[in-house]
Structure 1
């Protein structure tokens, strides 16, 4: 997922996993030279690449050409040409180059061949994807690429709604009032996933609360979802996986993209993306978003808004410079989000009704970012490069829960300097560099003040061994010098072994380290009468992740498909425990014994007939943690709010030329453990702790899209089965009483939702 383009270092921080057309081969002289070729004692040919601006075919210097399964190979010369003696050991010729998709060919009588290798990421970052969610076949990290086609299967108004058809990542509301959402992967919530935007760590710290809502769906070009410990190049915080979001680029093929959306609840949004090529080297882009919900909805009649009223404005202005030896991007992001929730009679200027207090929730978030990315290119040595990523952000949040204020401010400076090259030949490559992270936190909740400044310089080295069609090994280590928590060493290793041409085995292991932000990560549980208690000084979380994945491609009776089986285990040396077992308290303390998350997933992707795509997946979690510190006990309990089983079915069908597209998704969410909040129960011991089990439920989504030359119009629905959690807010009739709790949400709060929208595009 975080592989560098070995020709262009720029790609090491502008990740663009792409589909660049499949490699093709021109068989010349097949009718006239057959007799001559049959007797030839060698094969020769030329290896090309596709260059951009302008698009042309150029010789690829130093590409490796080898007979599969042997040590017989040569490198292409300065004209991209090669001559290789034939052998009786193999008739498969494999061509590879670091940063490019390898190609292979069963060689017959022909002796003059032509290969065109496709870059894993293009210089100008124009992503050419396939028509569905795909698996990155070359990466040793199990990486799923969610393409723009897959994103269009649902409305995808923002990043939190972009995983509806994904089996690995699930999304749910964090509570029944604030509208914040959380994701889960490998049995753990999104705080353990390193979520980057164009390889810049973004949804972290205080942004974990609403960050998924702050990336509009129409800005997204693609999403890479990598399981397990990620690359050491991007830092130490990844524990269960990495998500990298690629945004639309300044030199996009669409100079104008507009999207409008509305649903039956009254939510409306408008997005406008603009891009302009200023001259041969400069381009600029503007991404804008505005959305709002002003309709008060209370379907269950509990006196509380089911969805908060909100208004959001969001924009990115960026510029790009590209020449033969230098590439740069820089830009600025700005966001304002204002939301209000609580009782239906609440408004910021009306906190009492008939002389009684009215419970309300409010949150105003203002965020500003500036970023730059610079790469030095070496055309004569395409495997070599030097790049620098810089990002600075200020995140300011002002919130209240009833009459309790919560204010938070985070200032961040991030830098990553990366150098890459080879050792001897392109089979042995490396990335090395230094990084720096500065985080300044200031949080205030009731009488609790949390102040923290983290200054973390670090260095890393990552080695890649590529044995062409058999083994790819990535081994890396980084060392970080944390001003508060000392030296942190983060080793990680990934391996892909090609069992045969259709079957790949991936193995991974690695350490993760992160400093938690309890109030931001348990934000939804603050909408309650619980007393927050920090039992001790919270230490950083440390985990080890181990995983294995088996991918098998098949073609059966004209049906093509892919089987994926994977198993991952995350074991914690220390973990933040957010203890919800007691109805009147939210305890925070460190792990006393053991905690782990086991994840098993089986997934089938099938194309039974032309233009029909089917996905069927089953996921099983076993997540447990040691509880009981407040009473001096150590009891291993299943983690709350995690459903043990999940089944996903998705079918998508398109008529010729994609004029009509139909998508249908069914999600089955299994049972999960939830707190027992009955005050008559005795909660003094964690042994035989009173607990409840939330029932399993189905969720049905569907969408129909009609495509015209420049227009798309779509109509869809979510939660078509109209399933809703009963009584999502406990003690709703007395929100200032001891039993009030809106943080125990495990199912949809609102019922059936119908939406419609349109997309308008003008291409260059």
Structure 2
């Protein structure tokens, strides 16, 4: 996962791998003037930039490749670069519009060229989705899926490789985010419209980010620097009453930036069955964020954010049988980074993260309270340069301090604290290129849990015998400490809770993939096949298979197999993506090994994107078919409250129409056109001993139309 490793040091210690350029346009008089708002990107990579008002940009060195410049107003230019520019790179456009070049312009590939299997969601793909959270950003993703965790709390789950998203390590601007009480809502707290790119590396990836990324690492990159407009505004509303506002403003250049971010969301509760119970909560959500960046001898960055969130659902009427649901989230964090090049082959970087959070939840007669304060410090040393030295190394020393208290009140009271308040760690990774077509990465992370040293070794191999084929292999181990807050979706019911407090979850993961990039009909088509296996020796499992009125939570083994087949390409101007996914996720629930409940083993994704009229119009559609799956047995309930043993297959269709007017974009669309819904969403009425809002397998939000606007300058 060398690309993510580069991001980690790039954000903190990779200035030697960056260069500065300027794009100019030649007028009819022969004079040169800056070309603002021009896209600059690598032909065979995902890195890119947009020129600032002075025509300048800063870009990460990608290795020998063709640098592409694309502008509807000024034309196009392709420049082959064999080595990093030593001075400012000057690129001059003729100033004429070249329609043929625009028509065959390649879309960045969904699979990056990294040694570890990495799926990329670009800002272009984010803008083709309706809205607006990190979880909703994966609408067109072939390998990452998001859905409602239950019909009460509003938690959005993300799944990768057949496992819950909590086993995917989240990186915010290349800094690992510690597990905490607000983690179940982390996919809701980051707005997708303010992101520049999401990179998801699958499997046991780099050891430099710790051991908790068992099924992968997700790196989230905010709009910044040349990639951020000076001003950006986005508004959104839909027929279900949801309203969103996203904003970005400030000053930026290649040397410094001062940016502010805003995200606000308002959403009424939704009772589509009109049974007096809101399956989707009323939401009030506000995020404020600021960023300061400066590049000199040292590169400095400082980010800070505050989040307020309130969710209300459950019974819409009060009384003895009412089942109120309230969620209150308070979170604040500050992130700092500094880096410097010591020599041409040695870079030093520092990272720091301070995070505080509080989560208070009521689910009927169950109450949860959690508070946390965490501080993370990391020092990174990188030795060697890619393409220059065949052997390179990265060393990371870290220290994590956590103060976390959780309390769950049911018929009994359960309390859980951070098992180790102070967690020192040391990671090392060696990268070796024995041949130009072979990349080998081996690393290990170690953490001192009290008096016990826990190690997590990881190995990855990439073989690229030609420019159009890549074979990747990888494997390693990992572990993580669960938190009580992760149980909230499973507690939205009247089941009797039988809870064993968690120990350390431990697992191994291994996988392989084959990727082909083929020139077809004037564009590159990507054909990809991957297989991953995850096996937990100990996993904290929510077991609903001991009866319809019992919920056992205990440490059990678990396994998951994942297969993904992908075809991604274009028949100009139409772009398409077709993917098939198979999961075989199993655990010994109910006393015997069986498929995991509420998971669809099969999924087919088909997306189409059609730019028209010189890219001023854009039509995009998404079709998602998911198979039937197993439902926990309800045979213990009265006959009128029996659900079947399996939920049905379903087809979900989304479509969007976008119109560009220079700096203004207007878009409209429909979500869930087929109105494929789980019905009913809850079992029995609130107050009943058989009530259950935790068995969610399908879509809860009915069909809706939406309108949106984006403006930038």
Q: Structure 1 length normalisation: TM-score?
A: 0.80
- 1:548 Cα deviation (Å)? 0.4
Using the TM superposition, give the Cα deviation of residue 23 of structure 1 relative to its aligned residue in structure 2, in angstroms.
6.8
**Matches of 1:307 and 1:680 in 2, distance apart?**
25
CA separation in 2, counterparts of 1:51 and 1:709?
Answer: 15
- Which residue of structure 1 aligns with residue 292 of structure 2? 319
After superposition, the C-alpha distances for 1:530-579 in whole angstroms (9 at most, x for unaligned) are: 222224x5221111111101001112454531100000001112111211
| Residue of structure 2 equivalent to 1:488 | 454
Checking the alignment, whether the CA contact within 8 Å between 1:711 and 1:761 is kept in structure 2 is yes
* Residue 658 of structure 1: how far off its partner (Å): 1.8
Please give the secondary structure, in 2, of the residue aligned with 1:564.
strand
> Given the alignment, which residue of 547, 564, 567 partners 2:511?
547
| 1:5–1:100 Cα contact (<8 Å) kept | no
- Structure 2's unaligned 5+ residue stretches are 20-38, 68-78, 90-104
Where do residues 280-679 of structure 1 align in structure 2 (5 Å cutoff)?
281-294=255-268, 296-323=269-296, 325-345=297-317, 351-352=318-319, 356-378=320-342, 381-422=343-384, 426-446=389-409, 447-454=413-420, 455-467=422-434, 469-483=436-450, 486-517=452-483, 519-535=484-500, 537-558=501-522, 560-581=524-545, 582-591=547-556, 594-608=557-571, 610-628=572-590, 633=591, 635-679=592-636
Counterpart in 2 of 1:698? 651
Q: Which of residues 673, 685, 705 is equivalent to 1:720?
A: 673
Is the partner of 2:403 in helix, strand or coil? strand
Q: Give the Cα separation in 2 of the matches to 1:344 and 1:14.
A: 54
> How far, CA to CA, are the matches of 1:552 and 1:252 in structure 2?
29
- 1:341-384 Cα shifts (integer Å, max 9, x gaps): 01222xxxxx43xxx34221001111010110010124xx3332
Which structure has the larger Rg over C-alpha atoms? 1
Task: Look up the match of 1:254.
Answer: 229
**What displacement does 1:585 show?**
2.1
Paired position in structure 1 for 2:690: 739
In structure 2, the residue matched to 1:686 is none
Aligned pairs (5 A) from 1:184-223: 184-202=159-177, 204-223=179-198
Q: Is the 8 A contact 2:393 2:430 kept in 1?
A: yes
In structure 1, the partner of 2:682 is 729
Deviation at 1:280, TM superposition (A): 7.7
8 Å contact kept, 2:6–2:14: no
1:469 Cα deviation from its structure 2 partner: 3.6
1:187-209 CA-to-partner distances (Å, cap 9, x unmatched) read: 01101111221122337332232
Q: Distance in 2 between matches of 1:252 and 1:196?
A: 19
Structure 1 residue 281: Cα displacement? 4.2
Superimposed CA distance per residue, residues 395-430 of structure 1 (whole angstroms, 9 cap, x where no aligned partner):
101111123321111221112210001299611111
Cα pair distance change 1:313/1:155, threshold 3 Å = same
User: 1:236, 1:171 → 2: CA distance?
Assistant: 23
Secondary structure of 1:678's counterpart equals: coil
Aligned ranges 1:115-126 → 2 under 5 Å? 115-117=81-83
Q: 1:577 to 1:357 in 2, by over 3 A?
A: closer
Structure 1's unaligned 5+ residue stretches are 25-48, 61-97, 106-112, 124-129, 346-350, 683-689
Q: 1:240 aligns with which of 209, 215, 229?
A: 215
Distance, in Å, in 1 between the alignment partners of 2:567 and 2:137 is 20
* Correspondence 1:747-758 to 2 at 5 A: 747-758=698-709
For residue 465 of structure 1, report the CA deviation from its aligned partner: 1.3
Match of 2:28 in 1: none
Q: Is the 8 A contact 1:439 1:453 kept in 2?
A: no
Would the alpha carbon gap of residues 213 and 203 (structure 1) be closer, same or farther in structure 2, given more than 3 Å must change? farther
| Preserved CA contact (<8 Å) 2:345 2:385 | no
Q: CA deviation at 1:50?
A: 12
Aligned residue for 1:658, secondary structure, equals: coil
CA deviation string 1:607-629 (max 9, x = no partner): 12x2311100001111111235x
Q: C-alpha offsets along residues 499-547 of structure 1, whole Å, 9 cap, x if unaligned?
A: 3221110001111110112x32221121111222224x52211111111
1:252 is displaced (CA, Å) by 4.2
Contact 2:244/2:265 (8 A) holds in 1: yes
Correspondence for 2:95:
none
Residue in 1 that maps onto 2:98:
none
Distance 1:551 1:442 in 2: 45
Q: 1:99 to 1:415 in 2, by over 3 A?
A: farther
CA–CA distance in 1 between the matches of 2:486 and 2:131?
23
* Closer, same or farther: CA 203–737 of 1 in aligned 2, 3 Å: farther
**Which secondary structure state, in structure 2, belongs to the residue aligned with residue 266 of structure 1?**
coil
Contact 2:7/2:174 (<8 A) preserved: no
SS at match of 1:657: coil
Matched pairs, number: 652
Aligned partners of 2:391 and 2:433 also within 8 Å: yes
Query: CA distance change for structure 1 residues 568 and 55 in 2, over 3 Å: closer, same or farther?
Result: same
Report the Cα distance in structure 2 between the residues aligned to 1:50 and 1:176, rounded to whole angstroms: 41
Cα 1:432–1:99 shift into 2, 3 Å: farther
Alignment counterpart, residue 177 of structure 1, candidates 147, 152, 161: 152
